[in-house]
Structure 1
Amino acid sequence: MLTFACNRRHNGLQLENSIRFYACGVSETVNEYLHYLGLTSHRKTAVHALRSLACEAQDKIASCMAISTDVAPILCIDNLDMEERIQIATVGKQNRMFHGTWGYIHIPSSDLMDSLNPNDLTLTAYHNALKNVSSLVIDPNFFLPNDDDQEHHKLVVKSQIVQVMYKYVARPSHPKGRHPLHPPEVELISHKKPEIHMLKLMNESDNSAEGIGQVMDALQHQTRLDPADFFGRLQLIDGDLGTAQIFNAIRVLRSPSEHCDHSLNNISFTLGAAHTLWNIAHTILTYHFGNSGSMDDLGVWRYLEALGIPPEKVAQKKDFTKMLQYMEQVHEATLWYCLRDVMGHHDTVIQEELPIIPTAKWNYMVDKCYDRFFSHEARRAARGFPKLSNLLTRLQDFSTVIEANRAMKRGDIGRLINVWKMWSIMTQSLPGLTHYSAYLPRLILLLTKILPPSLGKLIRHSILVSPSGRPNHFVAKDFLLETHNYWLKYFYTQGGIGTQIDRLQALFSSNIPTVSHWLLICNFPEGSDYCIYKQLRTMFDSLRLDSGAKHIQQSHKPLLTLRGLERFQQMAQSNGILTINSSSGAPAPVEIKNTYIQGLILLQEEISTKANELGRFTMHLPFDEQCESYPSDPEDQAEPKGEPNKSPSIRSGSPSQYSMDED
């Protein structure tokens, strides 16, 4: 403090504090008082430092995008809407809604790139793979599990039963020899901390083809590349379904292009794993939610109410993380009651201390629970009994959501793709997922059948990242972007320091990175360099560390309380959720169709009645001649008579091959 008071150029600590206080929402009045005490620099100095950091971040973006010649760093973008409020409205100064797009670039790790074949990552290899789509035979077996997948799915469901058994029912006498708590790994991603650089917040007029065109131009401008260089190489982009649809719309409008380097055929969109999970899980929840106005209804709302969770708040599209946690609680509570019924303990008093039983008996109860509630024979026997059939169908559907969520946290992209294959069938019959019923199978075909092996592996291993570099702490890249959106959209605006959109664009958007940036290099009298290696979020999180405390990153896991289990048991016993018939006087429930079997039936009908209907699975794939010279005369562009458009072939198969008797 004395050194800073004597010479304001000795401001390493003060400048760090000024940016820290700016990032933590300290008001300007408090900052002025701390500046008067010599603990921090002036707020204008912090703003100037952030502006310099933003320029450095933009230079870093340009240098990273200019390194690769074949495959550019992967982009991840998402829409960002916020309202800029004005306290006193005047002419030309009104409340306005800002529509923008934000994202980051993800540079794959060197270990991953070394394991790939460079010849498969070229633009030529990508085009050659897409040209083969016209002759691709789409076989429904691409989305059906083989024998190994079925056995793995059985182990997945058993692992869910095992976890409930271990946490809430009983413990084995010897851990060795019991069923594992986690399913076998399929294709695990490295948990190395990713290298990510944030882009500058971009303007977008609206969610239309014109708006996505503005975003593409803004991305090209931030990379400081010529249009021919930016659009003339393979560019992988992660985004949600809506962004992919709008991009495909503008690509259709620009096709054909006389300049292939300026076209959008070299850009490949990948669906964000988090948005896919959220939307499909919400649809499954709504499908089984039931009628909360009927007291005889046994939909999910009744289970949520028994656990003390307000049902009306779960179905809202506001907090998808809590929605997944509530679905997991309902699923585990149902499994808990099923296990107690299998063991004959449904009438016993629930105790906090779990009993210890022999390991062989412990495994036998898990196997018996699976055979009774998850096997093909159990679902076949429940046909004609809507009450029990609806419960088994919900257990099957919810198990896919739980598995997808756990596979993403584990970083096992192989397990996640297995769930996506099941969802590709289920979305054919689930209401409200018309676009996912085509885009999700299209993504699976790209990753497993169409793209070269190394390029497919690059995309698969870039869908999930571990921001902290720890195993079992993976998130989807679009989920990571949503987290940064929260900091930009809510924290800084509600703190009163970032309510101006221009300030968010110029100062904050580029300074909320996942990787750290150099903040300051200042010279001390001895001539040594004082380096501060911080970021805005790091400064916020390191308050406890710098004050001498310990910062612990918590992993929030949904747990069932003893009181919640007691209330759930009362509800389950009073309604007889595991019985075949309804209670006396109660109307018979309407049987909910198995979405997986219904999806297979619809696929079989499409194959048998419409030969090229499954061509929608390859819709919007630019598998035409990428760089051919298109005729300038519109009449010459007309399709020659007698030469129909090329479309993927469909392998129909016999009815016995795709039996609808069981899933």
Structure 2
Amino acid sequence: MSATSAAIRDTLEICQHLKDINMPIKEFVMLFLTGKHIELATRQRFWATSTGYESTLRLVECIRDTFEDSADGQGWWEDFIQSEAIRILVQNNERLSHSSTGHFQSAHILMGMLQNNDEPPETDVADSDTCAGPDEPISVPTDTFEAQLLERGGINYVPNSGGRDQVSRRWHHLAAAICAQLLFAHNRRHNGLQLHNAIRFLPCGVSERVNDYLHKLGLTSSRRTAIQALKTLSGHAAEDVKAVMSLERSPELSPFLCIDNLDIQEKVHAVSITDCSMMFHGTWGYVQLPSKALLDSLEKSELNLGAYQQAVKDVSTMQINPSMFLPSHNDKQHYYHVMTSQFAEVMEEYVGFVSDKEGAISTKPPVLEQILPEIPTVFMLQLMDESDNSAEGIAQVLESIQRQTGLTPSEFASRVQPMDGDLATIQNFNSLRDLQHPSSYPEHSFDNIIFQLGGAHTLWNIAQAILTEHLGDPSNEINLGVWQSLEALGIPHNEVIQKKDFTLMLHQIEQVHKATLLHCIRVVMKTHKEKLVLKPQNKPTKMTTAEWNSTVGKWTIPTEEWNSIIEECYTKFCSPQARRDVAKDAAKDVSKDVSKDATKDSSKDAAKEKSPRLHNVLVCIHNFSTIIEAKNAMKAGDIGRLMNFWKMWAVMSQAIKSLKHYSAYLPSGRKDQFMAKDDFMEHQNYWLKHFFNGGGIGTQIDRLKKLFSMNIFLLQSMFHSLQIDCGKKTIHQNRKKIMNLQSLQMFC
């Protein structure tokens, strides 16, 4: 206390002395800081150094507090700070304007800026059919093709209710955009924002006329600059492909290649001899680096061309037994868990709540062989020409791939090259290899290439064949095919089987399968003759917590009863014995009509004719369950589960006429968000077609080949960033369609 009093006393004495010599305190401080005398400079030399920064700033803060004691003084202080901020910005801009580049972003040196733009926005994940509430609007695209793209990707945009932070970010974004416009108007070399907008407006469908107007307003660069930027990026992407495919990086096993066909119509309005409408036939693909953890778990000495060719030679002497394709005891047990999990999922969605989830039958089957959910490293290839769907066409594709890798034909044939493709591509490749065989030149024999069927195409083709077998005859009203189930659920039967949307076909198969399982559950619970009432899905907004808990209690089923219902459903409708019992009981009824000399097969046929409905239902449940579980296993990345069903399909494909080609090309194996490699390729095809249709580029296929195809990931991120910059939030959804009460009442 005494020290403080002494400091105040000394301060008052200094003030009195300044008053005696008639010098104001402010004038003394100004002369002390600005005086040119050597002694003054010596005394204040530490004020603006690391030694005195903190104490000097404390002095400035004290002056600030003095100004802010009054409203008028606070206004003076804010005006001063604003003028200082303007002075600093002007100084920085003048310094950049006098430099060689300034704010200028060249289209030739664009890689760093755009690579830093790849940070994903903050997103949410939801497991419902729609993430937004009843009062929360969802951004629905007006373009049906764009809506289908977002549907395939499971993406929606909803307003980001970020409160004050969101408002602050919006004003900050607006201020930054205005400043960027003014800088661009003052000096066209300050074009960071404009170049970014020019590139993302190109795939988003902004016409060149609108782009020119926005360029005049200072919001975007010219279209020519955007094209030049994409050319530069394509050049870097081509060099990346050559780097990852080099022999120095992987001398024995090449990175995986996945290719798929792409057809786009070039439509010309004013037809002439040189310009006419035509269909562009192309092939596109990507390079995927194998997982390092997977490679480390394998024997390196077996991953070479010599070991592969020796294994191919050993196939001719391999003894193949039917037992290799028959399910083992473990496989049968796993199928039991698959079916019980599907029944449990339907009960959880529509029937009621289980009292104890820990002791209840799980809604997911046991994991057999799970792969790591790592994001793969992918490099897109350039879109390639393919004359037609033939051996000559696939030869053109392979030659183009070899050129893009930067390898010579002999180098490309010197190591094992795994490739993924659809059934037609593999047939064309094998035809080409047969035409080239025998050949003493490795680059002509193609013996180093391993083609395997894509998982998604295998699922789509087999699902389509199974659905066709069960569809029935819609022209016959008494026909008991699946078409009646589809119509009962409100799905037009003539729109189910289509080549353009396999995802929708799988979705509708799952709806029929779940509705059938629900009916089986109601039969076991002896409620199938009562009016169907579904359990409440979510708590209504106006319902209190106590009322909701009471409602849940009414719909709760004890765990033991829950499990017994599921097990009885499996025994009665899904077990092998159930199908045998149907045939046996029906055979008794028709035994009088079957002659003593009738064969066993004719007895079975008569049984099917006598009791066709139940027999069809049991077979349909079995076949549709393989489709649903194969799809779930692919999404979960469980190779073991998937291989179990592919073994079943390997046998089934011999009996289904529309799968005759799969008898020669049997499938071989490949967290809940996995996507098959060929499905991923199909997704990129959709994006490329969307950019072609909406970009206003007419018949300029060269832009697709040279600019868009290798920069497809960048263009997708630019496409999504428009919604993010508008303040929307990205919602990634696991689409689980819950059928409504009216559809199920019509079905049941």
What is the TM-score normalised by the length of structure 2? Answer: 0.69
Partner of 1:10 in structure 2?
190
SS of match in other structure, 2:262: strand
SS of match in other structure, 1:274: helix
Structure 1, unaligned runs of 5 or more: 445-459, 464-470, 514-534, 570-663
Q: Which residue identity is paired with 1:408?
A: M
Does residue 415 (structure 1) correspond to residue 641 (structure 2)? The answer is yes
Give a deviation string over 1:23-50, Cα, whole Å, max 9, x none.
Answer: 2111112211111111111111001001
Highest CA radius of gyration, 1 or 2?
Answer: 2
Distance 1:490 1:3, change over 3 A: closer
- Shift in Å at residue 349 of structure 1? 2.9
Structure 2, unaligned runs of 5 or more: 1-180, 537-554, 584-606
For 1:55-204, what aligned pairs fall within 5 Å after superposition? Answer: 55-66=235-246, 67-204=249-386
- What is the number of equivalent residue pairs in this alignment? 522
Counterpart CA distance in 2 for 1:219 and 1:260 is 16
SS of match in other structure, 1:124: helix
Partner of 1:220 in structure 2?
402
Counterpart CA distance in 2 for 1:201 and 1:551 is 30
Partner of 2:480 in structure 1?
298
Does residue 476 (structure 1) correspond to residue 476 (structure 2)? The answer is no
- Shift in Å at residue 99 of structure 1? 1.0
Partner of 2:104 in structure 1?
none
Give a deviation string over 1:378-414, Cα, whole Å, max 9, x none.
Answer: 1001112222111101111111111111111111111
Partner of 2:427 in structure 1?
245
Equivalent pair of 2:582/2:614 in contact (CA under 8 Å):
yes
Counterpart CA distance in 2 for 1:240 and 1:307 is 32
Among residues 195, 217, 227, which one is paired with 1:47 in the alignment? Answer: 227
Counterpart CA distance in 2 for 1:544 and 1:316 is 32
Give a deviation string over 1:35-76, Cα, whole Å, max 9, x none.
Answer: 111111111100100111111111111111002111111000
Counterpart CA distance in 2 for 1:141 and 1:153 is 18
Q: Which structure's residues are more often helix, by fraction?
A: 2
What is the TM-score normalised by the length of structure 1? Answer: 0.77
Counterpart CA distance in 1 for 2:699 and 2:734 is 31
Partner of 1:395 in structure 2?
621
Question: Which range is displaced more, 304-313 or 7-16?
Answer: 7-16
Counterpart CA distance in 1 for 2:640 and 2:311 is 22
- Shift in Å at residue 498 of structure 1? 5.8
SS of match in other structure, 2:288: strand
Counterpart CA distance in 2 for 1:259 and 1:437 is 30
Equivalent pair of 1:73/1:106 in contact (CA under 8 Å):
yes
Partner of 1:377 in structure 2?
577
Q: Which residue identity is paired with 2:371?
A: I
Counterpart CA distance in 2 for 1:351 and 1:45 is 62
Equivalent pair of 1:498/1:504 in contact (CA under 8 Å):
no
Counterpart CA distance in 1 for 2:700 and 2:640 is 43
Equivalent pair of 2:204/2:694 in contact (CA under 8 Å):
no
Equivalent pair of 1:407/1:415 in contact (CA under 8 Å):
yes
Distance 1:407 1:498, change over 3 A: farther
Partner of 1:433 in structure 2?
659
Counterpart CA distance in 2 for 1:20 and 1:322 is 30
Among residues 729, 732, 735, which one is paired with 1:553 in the alignment? Answer: 732
Equivalent pair of 1:101/1:202 in contact (CA under 8 Å):
yes
SS of match in other structure, 2:198: helix
- Shift in Å at residue 494 of structure 1? 3.6
- Shift in Å at residue 210 of structure 1? 1.0
TM superposition outliers: structure 1 runs of 4+ over 4 Å: none
SS of match in other structure, 1:102: strand
Equivalent pair of 2:386/2:397 in contact (CA under 8 Å):
yes
Give a deviation string over 1:202-247, Cα, whole Å, max 9, x none.
Answer: 1111111111111111011111110000012110000001100110
Equivalent pair of 1:78/1:239 in contact (CA under 8 Å):
yes
Equivalent pair of 1:404/1:415 in contact (CA under 8 Å):
yes
Counterpart CA distance in 1 for 2:260 and 2:350 is 40
Question: Which range is displaced more, 78-87 or 482-491?
Answer: 482-491
Q: Which residue identity is paired with 1:81?
A: D
Equivalent pair of 1:76/1:103 in contact (CA under 8 Å):
yes
Equivalent pair of 1:288/1:300 in contact (CA under 8 Å):
yes
Counterpart CA distance in 2 for 1:496 and 1:345 is 58
Among residues 23, 26, 34, which one is paired with 2:203 in the alignment? Answer: 23
Equivalent pair of 2:203/2:695 in contact (CA under 8 Å):
no
Counterpart CA distance in 2 for 1:505 and 1:353 is 53
SS of match in other structure, 2:260: strand
For 1:264-663, what aligned pairs fall within 5 Å after superposition? Answer: 264-353=446-535, 355-383=555-583, 384=607, 385-440=611-666, 443-444=667-668, 460=669, 463=670, 471-497=671-697, 499-513=699-713, 535-569=714-748
Among residues 254, 268, 276, which one is paired with 2:436 in the alignment? Answer: 254
Equivalent pair of 2:268/2:699 in contact (CA under 8 Å):
no
SS of match in other structure, 1:512: helix
Counterpart CA distance in 1 for 2:341 and 2:446 is 44
- Shift in Å at residue 428 of structure 1? 0.7
Counterpart CA distance in 2 for 1:499 and 1:260 is 39
Counterpart CA distance in 1 for 2:737 and 2:302 is 42
Give a deviation string over 1:229-281, Cα, whole Å, max 9, x none.
Answer: 00121100000011001101111111111223542011000101111111110
Counterpart CA distance in 1 for 2:694 and 2:185 is 33
SS of match in other structure, 1:137: coil
Give a deviation string over 1:522-574, Cα, whole Å, max 9, x none.
Answer: xxxxxxxxxxxxx11011112222233311122222321111111112xxxxx
Equivalent pair of 2:351/2:534 in contact (CA under 8 Å):
no
SS of match in other structure, 1:315: coil
- Shift in Å at residue 88 of structure 1? 0.7
Counterpart CA distance in 2 for 1:479 and 1:177 is 37
Equivalent pair of 2:255/2:289 in contact (CA under 8 Å):
yes
Question: Which range is displaced more, 266-275 or 535-544?
Answer: 535-544
Aligned CA-pair RMSD:
1.3
SS of match in other structure, 1:97: strand
Q: Which residue identity is paired with 1:24?
A: C
Distance 1:338 1:349, change over 3 A: same
SS of match in other structure, 1:472: coil
Question: Which range is displaced more, 430-439 or 329-338?
Answer: 430-439
Question: Which range is displaced more, 343-352 or 367-376?
Answer: 343-352
Equivalent pair of 1:328/1:558 in contact (CA under 8 Å):
no
SS of match in other structure, 1:542: helix
Q: Which residue identity is paired with 1:375?
A: S
Counterpart CA distance in 2 for 1:5 and 1:78 is 46
- Shift in Å at residue 317 of structure 1? 2.4
% of aligned pairs identical?
Answer: 51
SS of match in other structure, 1:80: strand
Counterpart CA distance in 2 for 1:481 and 1:251 is 25
